[in-house]
Structure formats: structure tokens, C-alpha cells
A and B are shown apart, each in its own frame.
Chain A
Amino acid sequence: MGIEEKLPNGILLASLEKLVNWGRKNSLWPATFGLACCAIEMMTSGGPKYDLARFGMEVFRASPRQADLMIVAGRVSQKMAPVLRQIYDQMADPKWVLAMGVCASSGGMFNNYAVVQGVDHVVPVDMYLPGCPPRPEMLIDAILKLHDQVKATKLGTNRLAQIHDLETEALAALPTSEMKGLLR
């Protein structure tokens, strides 16, 4: 703290982690994975009224190799699931997945043979966004919460430790159907 006061103007001190994460979150390029109705709301978020460009996300990269964030917008059918996985695999690290809408998060209203009940059966999801379809403001809110997640990601060995901690926590977590006593 004392060093910063002694330095001349124009020099900022930060940790490498903060810098890298700042760069990552401010230009999360989404991969076009619009499937159904949520895709239209996603396109609207990129449109003039709810501008995603102010978050650095206007460029929807068609090629997954150039994208960081896969917004799975819409219902994923059984036929589409392998394609989804292939696109996810083609993305380069670091990558994030945002399940937009209830169909992507949990199968939505389509609890049947044709829809994968949540894309977390196929790819690891970092942010779930409910809604049918979620308003563009909700999508932007989810993206900002994802930004917070990105900010909190560590680098290097710290990251490995963080992953280990997250996994042990998830393995020991209480399943949703066991969370009793919430209704009062």
C-alpha cells in the first residue's frame, strides 16, 4: 500500500491474477449456439436496445476456436447433443458455458424423449439462467454474474487447488431432493 503512494502518476499495481481475469471478463467472446426461442432473445441482447457490445461481447464468433463463452440458448435435442459436445471440445481453454433458459438448464417444460434434460448432462455448466425465454436484461445479469465468477478464478497451482476444493464441495453437497424443511 505504501509503495503506490511513492510511485509517480500513471503506474498501477495489481496481481497477475487480477489483470488476467480483468482481460478475460471484459472480452468474453460468445460462440453462436443459438438453438430456439432463447436464441432470438440472445440476438436481441446483441441488438441495439440491450447492447452486449458494452461488455465486449458483441462479436459472436462463429468458430468455436475463437470463442470463450458458449451460451447454450434453447432446447438441446438428442440429435443435437453430440454436436454440442463437439463444439464445446473445440473451444480453447479458458472457456465457460452459460445455460440460457430453462430448456438448457434442466430440460424446461419438455420432459420427454426428445430433449436432453439439462445441458449439464453433456457439458460442464458455469452459469444457469432460468426463464422461458429469459429477458435480455436477465441474460445480461447472468453474464455479469459470470464476470464475477471469472474475476474470482485463480491462476496456476492456485487454480488446481480451487478446482479440487470446488469438486470436493460438490461431491459432498446435499442433493436438491434432500433439502427438506424449506416450506414453512
Chain B
Amino acid sequence: MSTTEDLYAGASETTEGRVFTVTGQDWDSVVQGVHEEADERVVVNMGPQHPSTHGVLRLILELEGETVTEARCGIGYLHTGIEKNMEYRSWVQGTTFCTRMDYLSPFYNEATYSMGVERLLDIEDDIPEKAQVMRVLLMELNRISSHLVAIATGGMEIGALTVMTIGFRERELVLDLFELITGLRMNHAFIRPGGVAQDLPPGALDEIREFIKLMKKRLPEYAALCNANPIFKGRLENVGHLDLAGCLALGLSGPVLRSTGYAWDLRKTQPYSGYEDYDFDVQTWDTCDAYGRFRVRLAEMWESLKIVEQAADRLSGLEGAPVMVADKKIAWPSQLAIGSDGMGNSLDHIKHIMGESMEALIHHFKLVTEGFRVPPGQAYVPIESPRGELGAHVVSDGGTRPFRAHFRDPSFTNLQATSVMSEGGMVADVIVAIASIDPVMGGVDR
């Protein structure tokens, strides 16, 4: 029975549009009828809850078959109001808040914020060398762990589950180092205005050297698994193409910009924290596609390992050096130590402030309750985070709290390129393009 024979079947025009009554064996006529209305497009929502959209990202795709005609990002599903919350906390407490923005590279958030505050305090030249070296060490370890997650989740999203497991396996090594040095695996509030919170624990340097040795054996696994893998290349090559002009117009930075061949890296061009003293290269690739970005990230991990090695060598010569600025009215007072009941104020410090120095007690009290006051003004100190240029625009009105702390997050800007990268391609390529941008929704939404 087909529509032409059945009295009740066939297409009819209603207020809702054309309606078909399907009675069987008439698929062809139905499809034909729909095809005539070519102006009906399919809008698909790859909603905020999706295994492959790299976090709570909503993709609104207009599809024509498998081709994406329009791609739009819906963001804001992780907006936490961190910037406003920082206005109600002291300057040092701001570190604990901003560290949770881009949660895969917490040290970078802390570093850019602390550097902005230090610039306003005018103590940029007074930061002790050991603090700078520790900052570089932790930031580069963070770059390794962040790129590992980028590669791991990118691999998972295209179906390469082994890449995910080995990526997270290596990341555990880095997190163990973080735990040893800062006490936490993630979201450490370690880099504070004035220096870093604590000195390196004994044995840390040996652990770092062990880690470097192990990573040198493990990193080639990624190259061996992915670089020449035909499926990997087939999925990543020529996907998410964005050339240099496009990148600059859209304000992209980081591995996406370097995959176009332009060697722009803030660690080299506008060095901070002593980066000018380290020997490393800026990695680029010349195909402006997802494969290029993957190769850039892989190569950057090797460079970071080089920097970590140099930092460890420098640290071995800095035993006993201070890690906080000398000005006691700014330096975070407490020294932490592991006691019988966990981590807390070291007994030496307590003996000092309670028994030996009244001034130290006053400083401790005032710094912990009131915090230091930062002279009025604004500062913007951008750094090269694993995703691109991360900068904190810090405004002070002379008080104990940030008047305004706005973070120029690279993921927020980089994600704007989704439309340009995805339109015209297929749905599967949208996933790969976004994975190659490597957005972290915490940074996008803040």
C-alpha cells in the first residue's frame, strides 16, 4: 500500500507544515516529499553534558546531513563568579580562588595573578631567586601535566583509549611531585604574591630527577603510538584549519598560533620569572591543523622537561635560600610543617612568634586578618600558559582586597575559533577541532 493508493495517506498541508501519514512501504515518497523542503535544517545540540565536548560546552550545530553548516558555542555552564568573589577576599586569598579557574593549569592562574599584584606592590625585583626558580619548575611541570591531559582527552574523544590511559598514568607522576612539593595534587594555592608559600621539602630534588629520567623513557611512547598512526593522522590532518591571519584576527595564542609556524611564545618574547636564563626552544609546526597542534604539544613537553632539569640543577645550589620576599609586611608569615596530626604551622615558627619576636607576631596577625594593602593602580602581566596568553588585569584601590581582578583566559578567546574551524566540515571533525584548541571550561566561564 503506497501513499498514492491510500485515501488517508499522502502528504497534507497543515498549519504546522507538511504532514505525512505513513502507512507502509512508502519510505521513498516520504523522503522525497521532505527533500523538497530543503530550507528545513536540522539543529543539533551537543549539549553541556557530553563525553566528547571537553567539559560543559554546549555546541549548537546546524547540520545538513553530516556537514556542519553553522556551529555556535554556548558557554557559561561553569560560570562560578570567581572574579566577583575575589573582590570580597584579601589579596592572598585571591590565589586560592583564581587557581580554580583553569583547573588543568592552576599554577599559571596563580602566577599571573601574583605577578600582577607584585607589579602593583612594586616588589617585582625583590622576589627571591629560589622563589622564581620554583615558580618556573612548577609551571613547567604543570605544562607537562596539562599537555598530557590535552593529548589524553583528545585521544579519548576520537576513540584512542590507550592514549587516555597512558596520558593519565604519566600525569600521576607529575601529580605526585606536586603533592610532595605543595601538599596538594590540584588547585594548590602555592604561588602567592611575594614568592611561593613554602620551601622545597627534603628529597624533592631527587624525586624530580627520578621523574625526569622516567619521563624521558615514557614520552617517546606517545610519539610511537600517534605520530605516524594512519588512523590518528587521518582524523587529525587538515582538520580545524586556521592560518596565521585567522589566528591573529581571532586573538588566538598558544599551541594553536604556533601550529601556523609563527614562533610567538611569551616566555621568549616577554620573559618573566627568569625565563630568559633557561635554555629551551619554541616549538612550531607548519600545517595549521589539529595534527600540527598535537605535534606542537608533544614537542613542548620535551622542552618543558629540559626546563625542569635546568630548574632542578639551579635549585640544588639554592639550599636554604628564602622563598618569600624579604619585606615582612607582605611576606606570608607561616611556615608549614608535617606534625604528628598532619600539616600545620611549624613549631619553630610558633616558637618564634610567641616567644621571640613581638614584631613577628604582629606581622603574622595583621597579615592573616587584614592582609597587606596594595597601592592603587592597575597591572596586567600576561604569561604563556599551556593554552596561550593568560593575563590577570588586577585593579587596586589601595585596599586589602582586589578592587577588580579580571582574567584574560586563553580558552575563552581560543574557543571563538570553533565556528571558523568547524563550519564546512563534518560533525566528527568538530570534536577534533575543539580538542585541538584544548579549552578548559573553567577558564572559559570563570
Which of B168-176, B327-335, B359-367 touches A? Answer: B168-176
Known: A49-B172, A74-B78, A77-B79. A133 touches B165 (CB 8 A): no
What per-residue 1/0 map shows which CB atoms of A71-84 lie under 8 Å from chain B?
00011011110010
A26 to B30, CA, bound (A): 47
Which of B15-23, B96-104, B301-309, B403-411 interfaces with chain A?
B96-104
**What string of 1s and 0s marks CB contacts (under 8 Å) between A130-168 and chain B?**
001101000000000000000000000000000000000
Q: Which of B180-221 contact A (CB under 8 A)?
A: 185-187
Residues of B within 8 A of A77 (CB): 76-80, 445
Residues of A within 8 A of B81 (CB): 110, 112-115
Q: In the bound complex, what is the Cα–Cα distance between A55 and B328 (angstroms)?
A: 51
Does A47 lie within 8 Å of B78, measured CB to CB?
Answer: no
- Are A37 and B442 in contact (CB-based, < 8 A)? yes
Task: Give chain A residues whose Cβ lies under 8 Å from the Cβ of B79.
Answer: 77-79, 114
- Is there contact, CB below 8 Å, between A109 and B169? no
Q: Does A32 count as interface, using CB distance less than 8 angstroms?
A: yes
CA distance A37 to B153 in the complex (A): 14
Residue numbers in B under 8 Å from A49 (CB-CB): 168-169, 172
Are A47 and B77 neighbours in the complex by a CB distance under 8 Å?
no
**Stretch of B42-50, B235-243, B316-324, B391-399 that contacts chain A:** B42-50
A32 & B49 in contact (Cβ 8 Å cutoff):
yes
| B395 nearest CB across to chain A (Å) | 19
B441 sits at the interface (CB 8 A): yes
Report the Cα distance A22→B90, complex, angstroms. 50
Bound together, the chains give a CA A34 to CA B149 distance in angstroms of 15
Given A77-B445, A132-B187, A36 and B78 contact (CB-CB distance below 8 Å): yes
Enumerate chain A residues within 8 angstroms of B186, measured Cβ to Cβ: 37, 40-41, 133
Q: A32-B49, A109-B96, A109-B97 are in contact. Are A37 and B187 (CB under 8 A)?
A: yes
In Å, the complex CA distance between A39 and B51 comes to 11
Q: Is residue B345 within 8 Å, beta carbon to beta carbon, of the partner chain?
A: no
Answer whether residue B85 sits at the interface, using C-beta atoms and an 8 A cutoff: yes
Chain B residues near A127 (CB-CB < 8 A)? none
With contact pairs A75-B80, A77-B78, A114-B79 given, residues A39 and B165 touching in the complex (Cβ less than 8 Å):
no
A36–B48 contact, CB under 8 A? Answer: no
B425 within 8 Å of A (CB atoms): no
B117 contacts A by Cβ under 8 Å:
no
Number of interface residues of A (CB under 8 A): 35
> Counting CB contacts under 8 A, is A123 at the interface?
no
Residues of A within 8 A of B171 (CB): 44, 47
Does B261 sit at the interface, judged by CB under 8 A?
no
Contact B48 A62 (CB under 8 A): no
Nearest neighbor of A112 in chain B, beta-carbon distance: B81
Q: Determine the distance from Cα of A111 to Cα of B89 in the docked complex, in whole angstroms.
A: 12
Q: Which of A74-113 contact B (CB under 8 A)?
A: 74-75, 77-80, 83, 87, 109-113
Q: Decide if B168 touches A44 in the complex (CB within 8 Å).
A: yes
Binary interface profile of B, 86-126, with partner A (CB < 8 Å = 1, else 0)? Answer: 00000000001100100110000000000000000000000
- Closest CB of chain A to B192's CB: distance in Å? 17
Is B50 a contact of A62 with CB atoms below 8 Å?
yes
Judged by a CB distance under 8 angstroms, whether B82 is at the interface is: yes
Chain B residues contacting A75 (CB-CB under 8 Å) are: 78, 80
Residue B134 at the chain A interface, CB threshold 8 Å? no
CA distance A75 to B78 in the complex (A): 7
Interface residues of A in 32-80 (CB under 8 A from B): 32-37, 39-41, 43-44, 47-49, 60, 62, 64, 74-75, 77-80
Interface residues of B in 147-179 (CB under 8 A from A): 149, 153, 164-166, 168-169, 171-172, 175
Expressed in whole angstroms, the minimum distance between the Cβ of B59 and any Cβ of chain A is 14
15 A-B Cβ contacts within 8 A?
A: A35-B77, A37-B100, A44-B168, A44-B172, A44-B175, A47-B164, A48-B166, A49-B168, A60-B51, A75-B80, A83-B49, A109-B97, A112-B80, A112-B81, A133-B185
Interface residues of A, Cβ cutoff 8 Å to B? 32-37, 39-41, 43-44, 47-49, 60, 62, 64, 74-75, 77-80, 83, 87, 109-115, 132-133, 135
New A-B pairs, 8, CB < 8 Å, besides A34-B55, A48-B166: A41-B185, A47-B165, A47-B168, A47-B172, A77-B78, A83-B48, A109-B96, A132-B187
User: What residues make up the interface of B, taking CB atoms closer than 8 Å to A?
Assistant: 47-51, 55-56, 76-82, 84-85, 96-97, 100, 103-104, 149, 153, 164-166, 168-169, 171-172, 175, 185-187, 441-442, 445
